[in-house]
A and B are shown apart, each in its own frame.
Chain A
Amino acid sequence: MSMSEAPHAAEIGARLREIVAAHARLDGPLLPILHAVQAEWGHVPRSAIAPLADALNLTTAEVHGVVSFYHDFRDAPAGRHLLKVCRAEACQARGGRGIEDSARDRLGIEFGETTPDGAVTLEPVYCLGLCACGPAAMLDGTLHARLDSDRLDALLAECGA
């Protein structure tokens, strides 16, 4: 979903019930359900918390507590493109800090922010497992290794940023 308004409880209700039903047979289904919710709406809508708590026999505080614990779950949709730049040691050893700076400068935002036009959200990631060919980043689910600032520029240009 793009940067549209947060969906209302009524709109998501039916689809949410389907998602919960699809995971009914799992032990400890909350994380798989939250991943499915985020895949559907691009974030975990606030309006989904109460119905989820209800369906799983949990308190809303418990569900909210889980959503807020994990870095992956967002409470608002990301930009049209999501750039995750690795900030961990193996990438640092290969110029990763320079890539972090280029990404910030080029986009004019900090980690955790979205460009004002909604094109790109920039996030940190601590390791993508590409430690022998860093610096690395993931753009909309696709991995890129041995980045330099030219290649980063080219990737961002593709995003219209």
Chain B
Amino acid sequence: MRVYVPKDAAARALGADAVAEALTREAEARGMEITLVRTGSRGMIWLEPLVEVEMDGLRHGWGPADPRDAAAILDGAGPKALGPVEELDWMKRQTRLTFARVGVVDPASLPDYAAHGGLAGLRRALEMTDAQIVAEVRESGLRGRGGAGFPTGLKWETVRTAPGPVKYIVCNADEGDSGTFADRMLMEGDPFCLIEGMAIAGLAVGAEKGFVYIRSEYPDAIAAMESAIAAARAGGMLGVSVLGSGRAFDMEVRVGAGAYVCGEETSLLNSLEGKRGTVRAKPPLPALEGAFGRPTVVNNVISLASVPTILANGAAAYAAQGLGRSRGTIPMQIAGNVARGGLFEAGFGMSLGRIVDDLAGGTASGRPVRAVQVGGPLGAYFGREKFDTPFGYEEFDGQGGLIGHAGIVVFDDSVDMLAQARFAMEFCAVESCGKCTPCRIGAVRGVEVLDRVAAGDPAALPLLADLCETMRDGSLCALGGFTPYPVMSAVTGFPEDFGGAREAAE
């Protein structure tokens, strides 16, 4: 009998290791033969640890499991039985292209990866020219999932045509945005998919070396990537002759050191080179002068991990999903105060209200939803009046927000929006790389000005608006440049929380 227990960091933080041990012990006590496989997470975090048992070829779920549930699970019964996992509403309503294998396969096994459709994209890419691969990615409409939404094919074309004997693929796995965990889940649950995407990128632009820059806060993802890279080398997926093609590609993991700004691509490159993680002025574009001064593709984990399915099933199949200029699927991360939190991959276009009220089931606290921050600490706060906004790059931009890395953090009505605005400034001050003044000084002043707002100073709000304008227009990167999003969206969308100063002004 095959039993699956997630090894995903969230599942482990909720006790999955103890559940796995209990299942092994219970099986031994019964003299029952089980094969216990540690997988990634299906993304239904509210049900973690979610144990699955294969029965008649179908995987049945139990969750959230406790070590005391081991006997019931092995009996195939009990109050936590969920039935076939693929039949659960949350699973059935998704279009899992990038996350197709996450939670399903053994992330440490290359044969398992290949048996579940892995390597098909890479095999096809090996039969194409570099220009054909880039064209395919371009036609898929894939845009960067790291936040800026830049067309991936266009970036690759710039690197492909850049002169130079040495080029690099750098995967941005710094995932510092609160409310996001898709990169982590992908690396822990299907690391070969990222490796495959990077190898295809290497073929497309003529790079033979890749780096995955992973934040140090993700020890499990680091371990999963390290072991998958070793297995990929041993299995001939990486190395001097990728899948026996005679084409070389290899890669290594680099570990960050706790700086949020190192997710910004030029800062990441400095960090990779062993320097302070300060932001570089652009131009030169990293595509032309990136890692170690060489032409470099810098892409987010999800951008790169979406490439294998695009190559395997064709650009058209991917582009058929989505809305407007947001093509394909987006793994939305539903987080914060929600009844059902987790990862949900679907074509772009679902309204924010449907995501929050329907998918997430409202708040965990049972109180009304008051604010939703989309796109991480640099994303705007939306109130219910914006719940009609469809999930797409242009659509969110049109409402004064951004989708960023697709993290959706829900707050109930106990939230103090002035405190949230203050936190945004405080975070910017803590994480500023210090290179430009609007960000370094502006964020510190921002905290002070918000304290004056809290104290009821009528002059403080106009000053705050002014300061935000300076930060937005004058910062070198989006850390200082976008911090005004959460701050000003809180002020304009939730003026009642800034009332002390407002009343005094009237």
Q: Which residues of A contact B (CB under 8 A)?
A: 26-32, 34-35, 56, 62, 65-66, 69-73, 88-94, 125-134, 136, 138, 141, 143-146
Residue of B nearest to A91 (CB): B178
Contacts of B377 in A (CB 8 A): 88-89, 126
B13 located at the interface, meaning its Cβ lies under 8 Å from any Cβ of chain A in the complex? yes
From known contacts A93-B415, A126-B178, A146-B14, infer whether A131 and B409 are also in contact, taking CB-CB under 8 Å.
yes
Cβ–Cβ contact B336 & A94, under 8 A: yes
Do A93 and B13 have beta carbons less than 8 Å apart? no
Main secondary structure of the interface of B (DSSP, over half): mixed
CB contact between A65 and one of B254, B257, B276 (< 8 Å): that residue: B276
- How far is it, in angstroms, between the C-alpha of A89 and the C-alpha of B379 when the chains are bound? 11
Query: By the criterion CB–CB under 8 Å, are B175 and A89 in contact?
Result: no
SS class of chain A's interface: helix, strand, loop or mixed? Answer: loop
A134 partner, pick from B219, B273, B336, B430, beta carbons under 8 A: B336
Find chain B residues with CB under 8 A from A32 CB.
254-255
Report the bound CA distance from A71 to B257 in whole Å. 7
Please, how many angstroms separate the alpha-carbon atoms of A145 and B48 in the complex? Answer: 11
Report yes or no: A131 in contact with B255, Cβ–Cβ below 8 A.
no
For residue B313, give the distance in angstroms from its CB to the closest CB of chain A.
29
* A71 surroundings in chain B (CB, below 8 A): 257-259
Q: B257 and A90: CB pair below 8 A?
A: no
Q: How far is the CA of A66 from the CA of B258 in the complex (A)?
A: 12
Bound Cα distance A91, B423 (Å)? 13
- Minimum-distance CB pairs A-B, first 6: A132-B341, A30-B274, A88-B178, A93-B336, A70-B257, A131-B335
Could you tell me the distance between the alpha carbons of A126 and B13 in the complex, rounded to whole angstroms? Answer: 17
Some 12 contacts from A to B, beta carbons below 8 A apart, are A27-B292, A28-B273, A28-B275, A31-B257, A35-B255, A69-B259, A92-B411, A94-B364, A129-B217, A133-B13, A143-B12, A143-B13
Please determine whether B14 and A145 come into contact, CB atoms closer than 8 angstroms: yes
One digit per residue, 1 when the CB lies within 8 angstroms of any chain A CB and 0 when it does not, for chain B 265-284 equals 00000011111111000000
Least CB separation from B253: chain A residue: A32
Is B9 an interface position by the 8 A CB rule?
Answer: yes
- CB-CB < 8 A to A66: which residues of B? 274-276
Q: Which residues of B contact A141 (CB under 8 A)?
A: 219
Is B141 an interface position by the 8 A CB rule? no
Binds A, one of B22-30, B110-118, B179-187: B179-187
